[in-house]
Structure formats: C-alpha cells, structure tokens
Amino acid sequence: MTPDLMEAGAKTRAAYEERLASQQGKTESGGRRAGYGRLVKLGEPDFAHGVALYLEDITVSFDGFKALNNLSLEINVGELRCIIGPNGAGKTTMMDCITGKTRPDAGKAFFGSTIDLLRLSEPDIAQVGIGRKFQKPTVYEQLSVFENLELALSADRRVRASLFHRLTGLQLDRIGEVLTLIHLKDEAQRTSGLLSHGQKQWLEIGMLLMQDPKLLLLDEPVAGMTDEETERTAELFLSLEGQHSLVVVEHDMKFVDQLTQGRKKVTVLHEGSVLAEGLLSDVQNNEKVVEVYLGR
Ligand SMILES: Nc1ncnc2c1ncn2[C@@H]1O[C@H](COP(=O)(O)OP(=O)(O)OP(=O)(O)O)[C@@H](O)[C@H]1O
Ligand SMILES: [Mg+2]
C-alpha cells in the first residue's frame, strides 16, 4: 500500500471517530449524566455499581420445555465465576441469552447498570464488550497466529471503518501482550492450522482479548485439552481475573478447583435455575447437588 493511501485511510478514520464522538455527545464537558453525578457516554456500559452482569428471572422455553426457568444471577466486575451443572442444565442456553443468540420469553438481562441486553442484537452485544468462546475453536487455519490476532483487532467497528488500516504502535504492543498471555509468543509466525488443539483454544481466547471485552463467557474451554494445557488455561484465566469478568462453564472439577482456589463461589445450575451457590467444597457436599449429579 502506498504512503498516500495509508494517509487517506488515517484521515478517513479520524473523520469517522470525530463524527462518532459528536454523535455520542463526547465533547470537552460532554457525556450523559448517569446517576451520582457521573458521566458516561451513550451506549457505554456503566459499572460504577460493581455489577458486570445482572440476570433476573430469565425464562426460555423450547416447545413448552423450560430450558431456563426463572434464572437469576449476578456477576461482579472483575469476578471469575465458574458455573457447573449436569448436562442439559441450561448453561449454554444461558450464554445464548446473554449474547443475544436466544431471546428469553421473560426476565431481565443487564450489562453493567445501563445496557439492556434484551434490546440489543448479537453484533451489538459483542460491540459493547461481551466476548464469547464457543467449545470448538474457530481460528483461521491458513493464517499465522499473528495474523489471526491482527484480524480480530480489525473486527473492531472503528478500525474497520477506516479504508486502509495499518497497525499502530499501540496495536502492535497489544498483540505482543496477548501473545505472551496466551503462551504463543514463540509461535507468532506459525500457521494456526499446525497448532495443537489447546493452542488453538488459546489463540481463540487471544482473539477475543484483542477486542478487550469487559465480560468473557467461556463454554467448556478445557474440553479436549491435555492436563498440562488445562493447567496453563487456569493460569491464563486467573491472570485475566480482575481486569475482565469471566463466566466459565466447565464439567472438569479439577479445573474448577484450580480456578476457584478454595475461596471463590461457584454456581450450580439445574433444570434452568440456580440450585446452589457457594464454595466448590460446600456445593459438592450439598445433598441436592449430589442428587442431581448422581441422577437419583
Ligand atoms: N434450540 C433448542 N431447541 C430445543 N431444545 C433446546 C434447544 N437448545 C437447548 N435445548 C434444550 O435445553 C436444555 C438445556 O440445554 P443446554 O445446552 O443449555 O444445557 P447445558 O447445561 O449447556 O448442557 P451440557 O452440559 O450438556 O452442555 C436441554 O434439555 C436441551 O436439549
Ligand atoms: Mg452446554
């Protein structure tokens, strides 16, 4: 690409951002008032109350069968919450509702205190800062690890809006940071198709991280991983805790134990509702929980 084309791209982007800022009322003193005298931009989530995700009485029916049944759940900003529960408990359906893939029949779902998720489309939900990892890794196999991360960066609407986008120093730094986090620094130039299953999973998590989501939803992230990969994944999630909120659905109790470190609460779902909440050691000894797992 010639330098003048790149410059044209940069100008297009600057103009776009200016327009966006003026639409959002983001001026020197701009912004929208959001309680307690705080200012938040229109469409920006507000986390001042410390809640990242709020679900209240969510119900989802499939032909009369309630996959979710008055499900209520609260995840705090920066919290790492593990969700467990037998097959068919509604864990994936819950993620489908949060990400706009499935519309509940009833209930409330808020991201922060201002964003009503039930009014947003699936792409808009991703754009406001909710990233989701499905079970099967979906990386671009022909591209290198680096190129996959670069592509994830350009999925950002603001970057895509510029016709000719070139990586800025900051973006290169971010790719470097993410490569370190996901243990793939030495594989940056490797074709992604050649990575192990676990490495592909990490790359996909890295692609999510490029968007800097406030909330990350991870559905069975260590399924199919070796023990060592599983342990490294736990370390990765623990390093993300605090900066992101994480909701991790897993059947692997050793992994859940590693993530909760004996002090974080886990949520047990069963038949579309919360059956129990508490320390892993406590819920594992909870009679109701033992019953649903053993199917008695
Ligand atoms: N699109 C759908 N149509 C009909 N029934 C569905 C649909 N999606 C999910 N279900 C049903 O809803 C229930 C909850 O499914 P869900 O996939 O959320 O469970 P889960 O807790 O994720 O289970 P697993 O641990 O096996 O992944 C199941 O009985 C499932 O068969
Ligand atoms: Mg599932």
Distance CA 217, CA 99 (A): 9
Task: Report which residue type is found at 250.
Answer: E
Q: What is the pLDDT of residue 245?
A: 98
Give residues (CB < 6 A) around ligand 1.
62, 67, 85, 87-93
Residue 239: enclosing H or E segment and its boundaries? helix 227-240
Q: What is the pLDDT of residue 193?
A: 97
Question: What is d(CA 282, CA 279) in angstroms, rounded to the nearest whole number?
Answer: 5
Give me the residues near ligand 2 (ion), CB cutoff below 5 Å.
Answer: 91-92
Torsion of Cα atoms, 97 then 99 then 100 then 101, to 10°: -80
Domains present along the chain, CATH in parentheses: 79-100+122-294 (3.40.50.300)
Q: Whose CA is nearest to atom 19 of ligand 1?
A: 88
d(CA 22, CA 175): 30
Tokens of 213: 């989501």
**pLDDT of amino acid 195:** 96
Q: Which of 60, 83, 92, 268 to mutate to test the pocket of ligand 1 (most atoms within 8 A of CB)?
A: 92
The rounded Å distance from CA 182 to ligand 2 centre is 24
- The model's pTM is 0.84
Residue 196 CB neighbours (<10 A): 12
| 10-residue stretch averages of pLDDT, the chain, 296 residues long | 44 43 41 48 82 98 96 98 96 97 97 95 93 85 94 66 65 93 96 95 95 95 94 96 97 96 97 97 94 77
